[in-house]
A = this chain, B = another copy of it.
Amino acid sequence: MRLSDTIEEFIKTMMAQDEQEIELKRNELAEYFSCAPSQINYVLSTRFTPDHGYIIESRRGGGGYIRVIRLRQKAEDLIHYLLNERIGDSIDLKSAEILLRQLSERGELTRGQAELMYSALTPQALSVPIPENMKDNMRARILRSMLLNAARKTMA
């Protein structure tokens, strides 16, 4: 079996017992599996992505850590759909507005959240001197990032 698969399983086992959230030390894990620390990043970036239902947070420096958060199934499905089908790598303001309204009506987001997200995508928010055609691309990224954040909480 490949090392990556072993590490993946190991992490998933840790989460099974614990909660939906674990913290790990990159160097310790690498030490434990006698591999390069960057191998851990490889595993995380290929098997613990939002599409797989996970979110990663980390901190450097003394006392640093990597936190792996598992989304609940429903949130995972929704995020998968939103990121891949609905948003992709570009979304215009009007579509984003419609999407946010739907999410709020469906109760996936509070109205406040939806409005706050919308405010981050308006022309004023993005009134920087870059080509217009790049703005919908920015909207997509910003919206993704915010939806992932929300997925950890309300979307459940």
A residues whose Cβ falls under 8 Å from a Cβ of B: 1-2, 5, 62-63, 112-113, 115-120, 122, 124-130, 134, 137-138, 141-142, 144-146, 148-150, 153
Contact = CB atoms under 8 A, between A and B. Distances in A.
A117 to B, nearest CB: 7
B145 A122 contact: yes
Contacts of A149: 115-116, 118-119
Residue of A62, A137, A146 ringed by the most chain B CB atoms within 10 A: A146
A126 B146 contact: no
Contacts of A112: 113, 153
A116 B150 contact: yes
B128 A141 contact: yes
B119 A148 contact: yes
A2 to B, nearest CB: 4
Given A130-B130, A134-B130, A149-B119, A2 B63 contact: yes
A62 B128 CA distance: 30
A66 B122 CA distance: 17
A65 B123 CA distance: 19
Nearest to A138: B128
A140 B12 CA distance: 39
16 contacts: A2-B63, A115-B149, A116-B149, A117-B120, A119-B146, A120-B142, A120-B146, A124-B141, A124-B144, A125-B141, A125-B145, A126-B138, A126-B142, A127-B141, A128-B130, A128-B137
